[in-house]
Amino acid sequence: MSRSPKAPPANVRLADIDEPLLAQLLELALRDASPDEVTPPLGEGPDWNPARIDWFRAYHRAAAAGLDGPAAEKSWAVLCGGEPAGCIRLKRTGKGNTAETGIWLGRSYRGRGLGGAALALGLVEARRAGLQEVVAHTTAANTGAQRILTAAGATLTHDDDGAVGAVVVLSP
Domain containing residue 17: 12-169
| pLDDT tens-place values along the chain, 172 residues long | 333 344 456 699 999 999 999 999 999 999 999 999 999 999 888 899 999 999 999 999 999 999 999 999 999 999 999 999 999 999 999 898 999 999 999 999 998 899 999 999 999 999 999 999 999 999 999 998 999 999 999 999 999 888 999 999 998 6
95, exposed or middle or buried, with CB in 10 Å at 0-12, 13-18, 19+? exposed
Whole-angstrom distance, CA of residue 78 vs CA of residue 121: 9
Q: Is 17 helix (H, G, I), strand (E, B) or coil?
A: coil
Taking the mean position of all CA atoms in its chain, how far away is CA 71? 16
Q: Are 100 and 122 in contact (CB under 8 A)?
A: no
Domain containing residue 37: CATH number: 3.40.630.30
Rounded CA gap, 51 and 55, in Å? 6
Q: Is 2 contained in some domain?
A: no
Q: How far apart are CA 37 and CA 87, in angstroms?
A: 11
* Domain-embedded: residue 3: no
Instruction: Let me know if residue 58 belongs to a domain.
Output: yes
State how many domains the chain has: 1
Q: Could you give the CA distance from residue 136 to residue 163 in angstroms, rounded to a whole number?
A: 11
Amino acid at residue number 41? P
